[in-house]
Amino acid sequence: MSTPRNDWGHGTRNISGCGLAGILNTNGRRTNGEAIMGAMSVLHERGNGLGAGYAAYGIYPEFADDYALHVMYYTSESKDATEELIAQHFDVTANEPIPTRPVETITYPPLLWRYFIQPNRRALVESQREEPEFVIDAVMHINVDVKGAYVFSSGKNMGAFKAVGFAEDVGRFYRLEEYQAYLWIGHGRFPTNTPGWWAGAHPFTLLDWAVVHNGEISSYGINKRYLEQFGYRCTMRTDTEVIAYLLDLLVRRHGLPLELACHILAAPFWKDIEAMPEAEGVLWTHLRQVYGSAMVNGPFAIVFVDGREIVGLNDRLKLRPLVAARSGEEFYIASEEAAIREICEEPESVWSPRGGEPVMARLAPGALAGVTGARLAAA
């Protein structure tokens, strides 16, 4: 089915666009991509065809211990250079083109490839880096220094799939109905301040993190400079990229609880801190002083995942829509309730999270028993 032309807004800037959706089966039961594509099809009018994508978890059980690199190449030289770099630092279990099908509305795709890799033990020891940092260094090196090559996914037993197009067309292009996952997120883009291009589509990922976003990050410059102090490099020309790196910094590297990291990203107003009990006020004063450059300003709704949790978060004033729902073992989140009801007609509960307050769901203990992988084994 061809996608209709989108005349919503008649080509003018629309500041409330972008569609988000996410599905987590808390018992780890895997389903194919039909449901998330169905939810995103309802949000069609929130995008304009300049970018869409998905992330899925549990899709590579046969390679669960390997990092799955999804890479897009714009030249054959970039592929050669990237594979030379991979060979120097990693042992490659398998590599192949990412399966796609022709879709009339998806044009001029780059070469899409995936690699299942393990850090080479000698190279890892010589680097004197922890394994996650070793992988991140390689991802940043490729994205910054290899012209025409972009790693758009680098986690374990998960993958991102994104392109320039509408969300339902991007899903068909990547044949998502052939994948089985216990956690899905999707995004349909309506870019306002940044270009619409393949690597700039959502989600943005790093290791197991994947983020989709509706809104604008007015603190992007401060966030970017702050992250660069820790070795992160922003290369995708889209403000959302900083959120994935901030989460990795706060949770993985600094060891903060995920909920606390959310409150750093959408920190309380100073007037609210002043009204807190003394001990709580002192804590938040220190957190805002230490992590002021990690605070995300501007209107936003984000959904992010790490393979164990799914989290929705609005800016403090809730200037972008976000709705959550539950039905049995399923947790849903989307820009609009209609997207949830497309795939779950009668959820047990539906609510709109408050601004600045994260809403999250986690895998049940033991949900992924028998699945290996660094992050997944801890679920």
Which tokens in the block code for residue 72?
A: 């897009």
Q: Which residues are catalytic?
A: 18
Q: How many CB atoms lie within 10 A of CB 80?
A: 13
Q: How many CB atoms lie within 10 A of CB 175?
A: 15
Q: CA-CA distance, 19 to 338, in Å (whole number)?
A: 12
